[in-house]
Amino acid sequence: MRVVLVTRHPPSAEVTMAPSRVRLLLAVAGLMLACLSVARADEPAKSVKELQKEHVAALAERLALAKKAAELGAGLKDEVNYWEYRLALATLEMDGKVEELRKLLEGQLAAIRAGEAAAEKGVKLGVGSAAEVLEFRAARLEVEIALARLKKQ
């Protein structure tokens, strides 16, 4: 198959393109996926507790990096707070401390609601963005969903 690309330039500007290699790329991608699934099949399945421990360890490491960056002036205090919150959340979930987890989520929900209200006020005054309101709303809904799931327990 020969594809000719014609431009508005003189006839000498025609370019011939090579046939598509889509089939080859799909075959390689399929082969790579098959290799990955075979490699994963040899690994024993991890328990939820093991996965939670890995998650807590990763969050603790990320928090340490955020603290170091903040100390060097290359990071933000808000970023440290964010990673502290994520670590506390994961730790409480891993340890099964439902009541403490509920309190943490309720505190976060109050802070998010205040931020959402401020963002909505900013939009009404013409100094804020609708995107910011939607980000707060999405965060609020995530926390409300987590609290609703805790109530089912």
- Give the start-to-end residue ranges of the domains of the chain: 3-42, 97-153
Mean pLDDT to the nearest integer, 35-55: 76
CA distance 60 to 23: 44
Cα distance between residue 147 and residue 153, in whole Å: 10
Alpha-carbon distance 142 to 63, whole Å? 22
The band of 153, judged by pLDDT with boundaries at 50, 70 and 90, is confident
Give the rounded percent of residues in the chain with a pLDDT score beyond 90: 65
What confidence score (pLDDT) does residue 15 get? 40
SS3 53: helix
Residues constituting the chain:
153
The helix (H) or strand (E) run that includes residue 63 is: helix 48-71
pTM above 0.85, yes or no: no
What is the pLDDT, as a whole number, of residue 9? 43
CA angle 91, 97, 102 (to 5 degrees): 95
Share of the chain above pLDDT 70, in %: 72
pLDDT per residue as tens digits for the range 123-142: 999 999 999 999 999 999 99
Q: Determine the 3-state secondary structure of 16 from DSSP.
A: strand
Tell me what pLDDT residue 56 has.
Answer: 97
